[in-house]
C-alpha cells in the first residue's frame, strides 16, 4: 500500500546518449517519484490512534483521504505528461510535426492523423490513427523530404532510386506511403528450373556461385545433401538471412526445398535478381523483426548475416545486436529445426568467443561445429561453421 510508480511513455526509453538532457530527465524523474511517493506515504500512513472513536472518525473522514489520493493521482498524471513531453523532445518526434511549413505536401498528407476507417473504437475511445512512420525518420528529414517530393499519380522520379535504401539504413522504416507509379520494364524470363542458373543480364550482376554447397573446398564447407540428411528428411521450408544472389535458395530449390532469401544488403536491385531466378526475395532491413510467425521454419541459414543483423543505431557487430538477431532466429525455427551458420568470418578471436557464447546460451544440439582458418592475401581469418538443432522447450 502506498507505493506509487511512474510509467513513462510506452516504457521503451529511447535515450541514445547520456546527454545533459537525459541526465536532467533522470533527475526530474527521480524527484517526481520521490515527491509522489512521499505524498502517498503521508496520506496512507497518517492514521489516528485505533480507538473505536478514531475508527469512526476516520471512516467519516474517508472523503478527506480520497481527496488526498485524487490530488496525488493528478500530480502523477501531470508529471507523466511532462515527462512524456521531454521524452518526445529528446527523441525528435516533434520535428516531424505536419504543421511545419518546410515539409513536402505528400509527407504532410501522410503524417496527418486519419479517422479510423471503421469509426471510433468504443472500448479504447480511439478516434483517429497516427501514420506509421519511424521516429528516426525525423533525424533524416532532409533525405525524407527529398524522397517525398514528387508528383502524385504519375511515374516516380528516377533521380532518387537510392533514397529508400538510404532511409531504411538510417532506421526510417516503414517508408512513408508513396503515390507514384513504379517504373518497370518487361523482360524475358526463363521457366523453372532453367531460370535458377540462367538469369538475364539486365537483372544485374550478382555473383552466381555454382560450386558452393555441392563441392567442398575445405572442412568449413558443408554440403547441402549432408545437412539435409541431418534434418532427417524434414527440411521443406527455410530462410536464408542476407542470402544475396540467392545461390543457396537455388541449390535448395533443386532439392524441392523452398527458401526465402532476405537481402539485408543494399547492393543494387538484388531482390530483382533473386526473383528473376524464380526464387523468393525478401527486402528486409537489419532493424526488422522477421515478418514470420513463431516456430515455422525447418531451416535457417546464414553466412555473414550475423554481422548485418540487429537494431540499427546499435552498431553492427555489437553483442546486443547479435543477441537480438539470435533470439529472432530462434523464434522462427521450429523445434528440431536446423540453424546452419555457414563459413562465418570472425573478425577476431574476441568476436568468435562472443558469437560462441551467445549461440551456446540457446542450448542447441551441436550436430556440426567446425572452427577453421583460411589464409587471406593479408592475414589468416578464423571461420566458424556449424549446424545446430533447436530443442523443444516450454
Ligand atoms: C476530519 O479530520 C480533520 C483532521 O484532519 C478534523 O479536523 C475534522 O474534524 C474531521 N472531520 C470529520 C467530519 O470528522
Ligand atoms: C522434386 O519434385 C519433383 C516433382 O515432385 C520430383 O520429380 C523430383 O524428383 C524432386 N526432386 C528431388 C531432388 O527430390
pLDDT digits (tens, 9 = 90+) for 334-353: 999 999 999 988 888 888 89
Instruction: Look at residue 39 and tell me whether its pLDDT is greater than 80.
Output: no
pLDDT classification of 293: cutoffs 50, 70, 90: very high
- Same domain for 162 and 222, yes or no, is no
Pick the atom of ligand 1 nearest to 64's CA.
Answer: 1
What is the Cα–Cα distance from 231 to 32, expressed in whole angstroms? Answer: 57
Q: Is residue 14, in this structure, part of any structural domain at all?
A: no
Tell me, yes or no, if the pTM score tops 0.85: no
What is the pLDDT, as a whole number, of residue 2?
A: 40
Instruction: Look at residue 196 and tell me whether its pLDDT is greater than 50.
Output: yes
C-beta of 60 in contact with ligand 1 (< 6 A):
yes
Q: Which has the higher per-residue pLDDT, 349 or 57?
A: 349
- Same domain for 105 and 84, yes or no, is no
Residue 114 neighbours by CB distance under 10 Å: 11
What is the pLDDT, as a whole number, of residue 311?
A: 47
Q: What residue has cell string 528440431?
A: 336
What is the pLDDT, as a whole number, of residue 139?
A: 80
CA-based nearest residue to 261, from 278, 277, 276, 274: 274
**Percentage, residues of the chain above pLDDT 90:** 30
Instruction: Look at residue 53 and tell me whether its pLDDT is greater than 70.
Output: no
Q: Is residue 207, in this structure, part of any structural domain at all?
A: no
Pick the atom of ligand 2 nearest to 254's CA.
Answer: 13
- Same domain for 111 and 246, yes or no, is no
59-73, 92-106, 186-200, 236-250: least confidently modelled range:
92-106
233, 238, 363, 388 from 296: Cα distances, Å: 16, 9, 19, 16
Instruction: Look at residue 219 and tell me whether its pLDDT is greater than 70.
Output: yes
Kindly state the average pLDDT of the residues 194-217.
76
Which range among 60-64, 137-141, 346-350, 352-356 has the greatest average pLDDT? 352-356
What is the Cα–Cα distance from 10 to 91, expressed in whole angstroms? Answer: 13
C-beta of 57 in contact with ligand 1 (< 6 A):
yes
What is the pLDDT, as a whole number, of residue 268?
A: 63
Q: Whose CA is nearest to atom 2 of ligand 2?
A: 256
What is the pLDDT, as a whole number, of residue 37?
A: 66
Distance in Å, CA 58 to ligand 1 centroid: 8
Instruction: Look at residue 94 and tell me whether its pLDDT is greater than 80.
Output: no
Q: Is residue 202, in this structure, part of any structural domain at all?
A: no
- Mean pLDDT rounded to a whole number for the chain: 80
- Same domain for 284 and 235, yes or no, is yes
229, 303, 369, 372 from 223: Cα distances, Å: 10, 14, 14, 16
Distance in Å, CA 62 to ligand 1 centroid: 10
Instruction: Look at residue 86 and tell me whether its pLDDT is greater than 50.
Output: yes
Q: Is residue 360, in this structure, part of any structural domain at all?
A: yes
The pick from 49, 57, 62, 66 for probing ligand 1's pocket by mutation, whose C-beta has the most ligand atoms within 8 angstroms, reads 57
Which range among 9-18, 290-299, 315-324 has the greatest average pLDDT? 290-299
- Same domain for 87 and 106, yes or no, is no
18-22, 26-30, 53-57, 232-236: least confidently modelled range:
18-22
- Same domain for 380 and 232, yes or no, is yes
Q: Which has the higher per-residue pLDDT, 241 or 314?
A: 241
How is residue 168 written as a grid cell? 531504411
Q: Which has the higher per-residue pLDDT, 25 or 382?
A: 382
Q: Whose CA is nearest to atom 7 of ligand 2?
A: 256
What is the pLDDT, as a whole number, of residue 18?
A: 39
pLDDT digits (tens, 9 = 90+) for 348-381: 888 889 999 999 999 999 999 999 887 777 778 8
Distance in Å, CA 200 to ligand 2 centroid: 25
Distance in Å, CA 289 to ligand 2 centroid: 33
Q: Is residue 165, in this structure, part of any structural domain at all?
A: yes
Q: Is residue 189, in this structure, part of any structural domain at all?
A: no
Instruction: Look at residue 4 and tell me whether its pLDDT is greater than 50.
Output: no
Kindly state the average pLDDT of the residues 275-288.
86
Q: Which has the higher per-residue pLDDT, 174 or 302?
A: 302
Q: Whose CA is nearest to atom 5 of ligand 2?
A: 256
For the chain, the domain total comes to 3
The pick from 64, 65, 66, 67 for probing ligand 1's pocket by mutation, whose C-beta has the most ligand atoms within 8 angstroms, reads 64
C-beta of 233 in contact with ligand 2 (< 6 A):
no
- Same domain for 363 and 217, yes or no, is yes
Contact of 224 with 388, CB cutoff 8 Å: no
Instruction: Look at residue 80 and tell me whether its pLDDT is greater than 50.
Output: yes
Which range among 53-57, 90-94, 178-182, 304-308 has the greatest average pLDDT? 178-182
Q: Which ligand is nearest to the CA of 254?
A: 2
Q: Which domain holds residue 160?
A: 96-115+130-181
- Same domain for 46 and 70, yes or no, is yes
C-beta of 255 in contact with ligand 2 (< 6 A):
yes
Q: Is residue 34, in this structure, part of any structural domain at all?
A: yes
- Same domain for 160 and 25, yes or no, is no
- Same domain for 236 and 334, yes or no, is yes
Q: Which ligand is nearest to the CA of 253?
A: 2
Q: Is residue 196, in this structure, part of any structural domain at all?
A: no
What is the Cα–Cα distance from 346 to 241, expressed in whole angstroms? Answer: 17
C-beta of 365 in contact with ligand 2 (< 6 A):
no
Q: Taking the alpha carbons of 51, 52, 53, 55 in that order, is the dihedral positive or negative?
A: positive
- Same domain for 234 and 295, yes or no, is yes
Q: Which ligand is nearest to the CA of 67?
A: 1
Contact of 368 with 222, CB cutoff 8 Å: yes
Pick the atom of ligand 2 nearest to 256's CA.
Answer: 1
- Same domain for 57 and 149, yes or no, is no
Amino acid at each position: 500500500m502506498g507505493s506509487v510508480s511512474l510509467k513513462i511513455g510506452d516504457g521503451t526509453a529511447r535515450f541514445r546518449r547520456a546527454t545533459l538532457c537525459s541526465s536532467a530527465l533522470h533527475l526530474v524523474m527521480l524527484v517526481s517519484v520521490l515527491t509522489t511517493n512521499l505524498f502517498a506515504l503521508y496520506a496512507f500512513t497518517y492514521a489516528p490512534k485505533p480507538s473505536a472513536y478514531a475508527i469512526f472518525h476516520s471512516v467519516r473522514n474517508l472523503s478527506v483521504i480520497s481527496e488526498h489520493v485524487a490530488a496525488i493521482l493528478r500530480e502523477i498524471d501531470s508529471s507523466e505528461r511532462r515527462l512524456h513531453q521531454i521524452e518526445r523532445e529528446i527523441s525528435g518526434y516533434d520535428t516531424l510535426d505536419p504543421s511545419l511549413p518546410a515539409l513536402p505536401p505528400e509527407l504532410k498528407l501522410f503524417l496527418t492523423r486519419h479517422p479510423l476507417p471503421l469509426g471510433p473504437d468504443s472500448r479504447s475511445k480511439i478516434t483517429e490513427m497516427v501514420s506509421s512512420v519511424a521516429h528516426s525518420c525525423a533525424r533524416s528529414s532532409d533525405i525524407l523530404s527529398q524522397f517525398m517530393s514528387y508528383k502524385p499519380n504519375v511515374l516516380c522520379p528516377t533521380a532518387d532510386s537510392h533514397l529508400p535504401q538510404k532511409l531504411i539504413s538510417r532506421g526510417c522504416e516503414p517508408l512513408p506511403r508513396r503515390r507514384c507509379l513504379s517504373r518497370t520494364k518487361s523482360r524475358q524470363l526463363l521457366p523453372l528450373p532453367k531460370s535458377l542458373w540462367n538469369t538475364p543480364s539486365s537483372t544485374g550482376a550478382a555473383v552466381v556461385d555454382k560450386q558452393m554447397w555441392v563441392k567442398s573446398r575445405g572442412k568449413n564447407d558443408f554440403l547441402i545433401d549432408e545437412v539435409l540428411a541431418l534434418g532427417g528428411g524434414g527440411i521443406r521450408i527455410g530462410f536464408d538471412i542476407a542470402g544475396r544472389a540467392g545461390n543457396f535458395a537455388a541449390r535448395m530449390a533443386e532439392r524441392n526445398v523452398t527458401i526465402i532469401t532476405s537481402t539485408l544488403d543494399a547492393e543494387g536491385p538484388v531482390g530483382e535478381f533473386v526473383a528473376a531466378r524464380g526464387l523468393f526475395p525478401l527486402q528486409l532491413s537489419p532493424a526488422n523483426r522477421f515478418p514470420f510467425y513463431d516456430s515455422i521454419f525447418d531451416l535457417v541459414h546464414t553466412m555473414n548475416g550475423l554481422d548485418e543483423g540487429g537494431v540499427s543505431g546499435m552498431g553492427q557487430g555489437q553483442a546486443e545486436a547479435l543477441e537480438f538477431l539470435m533470439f529472432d532466429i530462434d523464434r522462427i525455427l521450429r523445434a528440431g529445426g536446423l540453424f546452419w551458420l555457414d563459413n562465418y568470418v570472425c573478425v577476431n578471436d574476441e568476436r568468435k568467443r562472443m558469437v560462441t557464447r551467445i549461440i551456446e546460451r540457446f542450448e542447441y544440439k551441436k550436430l556440426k561445429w567446425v572452427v577453421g582458418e583460411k589464409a587471406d592475401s593479408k592475414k589468416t581469418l578464423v571461420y566458424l561453421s556449424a549446424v545446430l538443432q533447436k530443442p523443444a522447450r516450454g
